[in-house]
A and B are shown apart, each in its own frame.
Chain A
Amino acid sequence: MFSILWRLDRLSRFGLGLLIFLILLGLVGPHLPLGDPMRIGAGPRLTPPSWQFPFGTDELGRSFLPRVVDGIRATFLLSAVAVIITAVIGTLLGMVSGFFGGFADQLVARGADILFAFPAILAGLLIAAVMGPGQISAIAVISVATLPLFIRVVRAVTLGLASRGFIVAAQVAGASPWRVMMVHILPNIIGAVIVQLTYALSIGMIIESALSFLGLGVQPPYASLGSLLRQGSAYLTFAPWLVLSSGAVLSAAIMSVNLTGDAVRDALEPLKGRSLT
């Protein structure tokens, strides 16, 4: 397990380190002496970054750094919850679809096609119209956008496994379909699911922050990195540190997930290049 760590190249190790750092920061952030993210008038309004306020202050004089740290936690937590729920549902549906085939397969595959045809942000606007803007809507949008990814990958891998000897042997020995799927198929597809999980997490974070940026995600007084950017964009020309700091942290967070995803994929399904010379 840990031997993989030493085989990573510089870029992957950087990504993994950044991811761990950001998650730890989000977790212990409230206990660090960074200041109160909600305290209005902690300093003058819209002051540039200084030693006292490393990311400056916002239009209500709140210190921006603790708000960004809070935003990291909100963005990660919301996307992770959405993606993990989706991964469980998508894996079950994909396995059933690939294992049973026939009508169930058609139903699940067509359902995935239908969800895949909805552009994520437009689906977000529709869901916001139906459910009202907020965290639950954001989770629903992320699920709609990433469910087809899980279903398609799991289904394809399960299809490849279904005719293999050890699956047929288990069936002949009298194992129930549920047991075959859980005991024999699941361990063989978990790698593909994990690879998909990291990509889905980065998609989820992009969607969550885009929705919050449009005012459809996390609602005030709570903040995610996207809603902080929305807040800062009103003062872009004379207080650019709000947008620059939250934008940089958000991009770094998504990049750390992407780089980790690449590393996981390279470790689980290596694709060796070759030199032409």
Chain B
Amino acid sequence: MRILFYFLPKLAVAAITMLGVSALVFLSLRMIPGGYADVLLGPFVTPEAREAIAVRYGLDQPLLIQYLNWLGALFQGDLGVSMVTRAPVLDEFLRRAPVTLELALLALIVALAGGLPLGILAGIAPPDHRGGLLARLVGALGASVPDFVLGSLLIFVFSVWSLWLRVGGYVGPIEDPVGNLRVMLLPALTLSLFGIALVLRTTRDAVLRVMTEGHITTALARGERPIDIVRLHVLRNAAIPVVTVVTTYFGFLLGGAVVVEVLFSIPGIGFFIFSGLENRDYAIVQAGVLIAAAVFITINMLADLAYALIDPRVGSGRH
């Protein structure tokens, strides 16, 4: 009951947000110079052909009606048709989604495995401790080196010294699991550097904040071992901000890491959307932005639900 009353308003806000996103995306595509007929038929278009296209796609109707029609089609899973392949856009996206999902999961695992321990270390280490300084340095580097810089560097290193990992030449995980890992590891590492920094900095801040609270003093006074204090008192209380950034980061990864997928020629969603822009196949760009925003909003809603499960006070009216 508590969770339901807490969650329903969040659901309503998410629905409103999604509606706003869809309206903006719809409007933006109507604002493309030249309009749909020019994009579809090219520059040498007769007024009659333009008219015919307008009638056929309902472009002669008021904007609001057009939007509602478009929204209605959206609810039936109709995201439009690719002008290049003539296939439904949704199918094209679903076909590529597993690639992006795998990349996102790999990057997330590396980010957590690297960021959490370093962040806790930076949070509990005394100010002049060498580990704490190292953690801060990794945090600063990870937040500062853009993914395409790190990616280019890795591509250079691994194309000059052909180590075990590979650059480009994607193979699916089912045909060749080992080969798939050889291809995916570098882009995943590239993506995860920012994640490591993000998790590290958030964990450090959260741990520092918890450490100043009264119950830590009490635990210290009771003579509990430092490792127990961290495990029992600090981590649980520091969890919420960490969950927040991890979900935001994961939502961002699922939206298709355009730059990294383009750089490493990984045939995922991000690469697909970018090629859509290059081919002036705007239905793909439109659908891509919409899907990414929807995924992002859904993931954040799930995070809200997770808070209520982690912290019994959330939504009880006393928080």
CB contact between A11 and one of B33, B124, B133, B149 (< 8 Å): that residue: B133
Q: How far, in Å, is A210 (CB) from chain B's closest CB? A: 5
Q: A111-B20, A129-B285, A258-B144 are in contact. Are A121 and B259 (CB under 8 A)?
A: yes
Q: Say whether B152 contacts A243, CB under 8 Å.
A: yes
Q: Say whether A125 contacts B152, CB under 8 Å.
A: no
Q: Say whether A276 contacts B124, CB under 8 Å.
A: yes
Q: How far, in Å, is A271 (CB) from chain B's closest CB? A: 5
Q: Say whether B156 contacts A237, CB under 8 Å.
A: yes
A31 within 8 A of B: no
Q: How far, in Å, is B28 (CB) from chain A's closest CB? A: 5
In the complex formed, the residue of A with least CB distance to B251 is: A119
Q: Flag the segment in A82-90, A166-174, A176-184, A244-252 that touches B.
A: A244-252
Q: Given the complex, which residues of A lie within 8 Å of B143, measured CB to CB?
A: 202, 254-255, 258
Q: How far, in Å, is B256 (CB) from chain A's closest CB? A: 7
In the complex formed, the residue of A with least CB distance to B32 is: A130
The complex places the Cα of A41 from the Cα of B127 at a distance, in Å, of 53
Q: Given the complex, which residues of B lie within 8 Å of A129, measured CB to CB?
A: 28-29, 32, 277, 282, 285
Q: A274-B212, A277-B226 are in contact. Are A110 and B17 (CB under 8 A)?
A: yes
Q: Say whether A122 contacts B152, CB under 8 Å.
A: no
Which residues A165-223 have CB closer than 8 A to chain B?
Answer: 202, 206, 209-210, 213-214
The complex places the Cα of A114 from the Cα of B24 at a distance, in Å, of 9
Residues of chain B at interface, number, CB under 8 A? 64
CB contact between A273 and one of B123, B147, B259 (< 8 Å): that residue: B123
Q: Say whether A117 contacts B293, CB under 8 Å.
A: yes
A100 within 8 A of B: no
A236 within 8 A of B: yes
Which residues A231-263 have CB closer than 8 A to chain B?
Answer: 233, 236-237, 240, 243-244, 247, 250-252, 254-255, 257-259, 262
Q: How far, in Å, is A198 (CB) from chain B's closest CB? A: 12
Q: Say whether B289 contacts A118, CB under 8 Å.
A: yes
CB contact between B148 and one of A15, A122, A213, A255 (< 8 Å): that residue: A213
CB contact between A122 and one of B20, B256, B262 (< 8 Å): that residue: B256
The complex places the Cα of A237 from the Cα of B162 at a distance, in Å, of 12
Instruction: Tell me whether chain B's interface is mostly helix, strand or loop, or mixed.
Output: helix
B131 within 8 A of A: no
Q: Given the complex, which residues of B lie within 8 Å of A125, measured CB to CB?
A: 258, 273-274, 277, 285, 288-289
A65 within 8 A of B: no
Q: Say whether B152 contacts A236, CB under 8 Å.
A: yes
Q: Flag the segment in B47-55, B88-96, B134-142, B235-243 that touches A.
A: B134-142
The complex places the Cα of A226 from the Cα of B211 at a distance, in Å, of 41
Q: Given the complex, which residues of A lie within 8 Å of B144, measured CB to CB?
A: 202, 251-252, 254-255, 257-258
Known: A110-B13, A121-B270, A122-B289. 13 other contacts (CB 8 A): A113-B17, A114-B17, A114-B21, A114-B24, A202-B143, A210-B146, A213-B259, A237-B156, A237-B160, A243-B152, A247-B149, A255-B141, A255-B144
Task: List 8 contacting pairs A-B, 8 Å CB cutoff, sorted by A.
Answer: A11-B133, A113-B20, A117-B297, A119-B289, A122-B258, A126-B286, A250-B149, A259-B140
On B, residues with C-beta under 8 Å from A are 13, 16-18, 20-21, 24-25, 28-29, 31-33, 123-124, 126-127, 133, 136-137, 140-141, 143-149, 152-153, 155-156, 159-160, 205, 208-209, 211-212, 216, 220, 226, 229-230, 252, 255-256, 258-259, 262, 270, 273-274, 277, 282, 285-286, 288-289, 292-293, 296-297
On A, residues with C-beta under 8 Å from B are 11, 15, 110-111, 113-114, 117-119, 121-123, 125-130, 132, 202, 206, 209-210, 213-214, 226, 229, 233, 236-237, 240, 243-244, 247, 250-252, 254-255, 257-259, 262, 271-277
Question: Top 3 A-B pairs ranked by shortest CB distance?
Answer: A255-B144, A114-B20, A247-B149
